[in-house]
């Protein structure tokens, strides 16, 4: 969960001005805010999330404590591949999350036969990741979805129109699942090279290699 800090600074001579920080992870924002409060010159300190909701220090601490045992700080990489000759599609997703003070990586792929284009495979890969989030019981949290498909990312961000019938159906399925889970989605477009984990999973699925794993990551990831 990314938060920015806003506060009023007052000098010893009574001059005041308001500052707003860059976006920070919520736990880091709390540490910085506590340090600011120690100066005795920071007033009206508050936290603001990406939905423009305002939090007090107490409210934010209680929220973080409440989600500590649940998956949070979730980032999802997804990719889909389509083989025109065999008409098979490979789907891959990689989910990074934190839980109980530890970091984890989930990897999942799947092979499907009912799709007709690479863009459909991309949407199906994203939908696969949503089903995995549901199994992890991720709900009512912000989640970043990261992929290398300019079409899918821009359509879901609302920057490109979704005029193709099948893609429109997939977009509706994604939005319905997001609404059901209460997920506040953010989308990021990256290069194929940066998306190599999900790309490899999709390629392995096309080759008949099934991957499904969850590992704990080193704390310095």
Same domain membership, residue 112 and residue 19: no
Same domain membership, residue 181 and residue 90: yes
Same domain membership, residue 49 and residue 139: no
In the chain, the number of structural domains is 2
Same domain membership, residue 106 and residue 58: no
Same domain membership, residue 121 and residue 86: yes
Tell me the per-residue pLDDT of 86-129, one tens digit each, with 9 for 90 and over. 889 999 999 999 999 899 999 999 999 989 999 999 999 999 99
Same domain membership, residue 162 and residue 135: yes
Residue that terminates a domain, selected from 37, 67, 97: 67
Range of the domain at 91: 72-217
Question: Could you tell me if 46 and 55 are in contact, meaning their C-beta atoms sit under 8 angstroms apart?
Answer: yes
pLDDT at 221 over 70: no
Q: Is the pTM of this model over 0.75?
A: yes
Tell me the per-residue pLDDT of 177-192, one tens digit each, with 9 for 90 and over. 999 999 999 999 999 9
Note the pLDDT of residue 160.
92
Give dist(CA 153, CA 148) in Å, integer. Answer: 8
The 3 state secondary structure assigned to the chain is CEEEEEEEEECCCCCEEEEECCCEEHHHHHHHHHHHHHCCCEEEEEEEECCCCEECHHHHHHHHHHHCCCCEEEEEEEEEEEECCCCEEEEEEEEEEEECCEEEEEEEEEEECCCCCHHHHHHHHHHHHHHHHHHCCCCCCEEEEEECCHHHHHHHCCCCCCCCHHHHHHHHHHHHHHHHHCCEEEEEECCCCCCHHHHHHHHHHHCCCCCEEEEEECCCC
Q: Which residue has the higher pLDDT, 26 or 80?
A: 80
Same domain membership, residue 105 and residue 21: no
Phi, psi of 45 (to 5 degrees): -75, 135
Same domain membership, residue 62 and residue 37: yes
Place of tokens 């939090």: 55
Residue that terminates a domain, selected from 67, 97, 119: 67
Give dist(CA 98, CA 62) in Å, integer. Answer: 17
Same domain membership, residue 213 and residue 131: yes
Same domain membership, residue 49 and residue 150: no
Look up the CATH number of the domain holding residue 175.
Answer: 3.30.420.10
Same domain membership, residue 184 and residue 77: yes
Residue that terminates a domain, selected from 67, 94, 110: 67
Cα 77 to Cα 47, 54, 63, 188, 209: the distances in Å are: 28, 29, 26, 9, 19
């Amino acid at each position: 969960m990314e938060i920015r800090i806003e506060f009023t600074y007052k000098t010893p001579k009574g001059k005041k001005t308001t500052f707003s920080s860059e976006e920070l992870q919520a736990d880091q924002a709390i540490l910085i805010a506590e340090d600011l409060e120690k100066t005795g010159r920071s007033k009206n300190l508050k936290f603001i999330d990406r939905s423009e909701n305002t939090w007090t220090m107490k409210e934010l601490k209680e929220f973080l404590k409440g989600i500590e045992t649940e998956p949070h700080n979730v980032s999802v990489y997804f990719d889909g591949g389509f083989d025109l000759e065999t008409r098979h599609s490979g789907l891959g997703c990689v989910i990074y999350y934190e839980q109980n003070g530890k970091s984890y990586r989930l990897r999942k792929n799947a092979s499907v036969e009912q799709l007709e284009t690479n863009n459909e495979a991309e949407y199906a890969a994203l939908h696969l990741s949503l089903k995995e989030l549901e199994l992890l019981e991720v709900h009512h949290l912000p989640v970043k979805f990261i992929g290398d498909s300019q079409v899918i990312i821009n359509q879901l961000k609302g920057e490109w129109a979704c005029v193709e019938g099948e893609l429109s159906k997939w977009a509706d399925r994604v939005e319905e699942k997001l609404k059901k889970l209460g997920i506040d989605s953010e989308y990021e477009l990256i290069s194929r090279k940066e998306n190599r984990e999900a790309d490899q999973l999709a390629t392995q699925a096309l080759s008949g290699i099934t991957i499904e794993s969850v590992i704990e990551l080193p704390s310095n990831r």
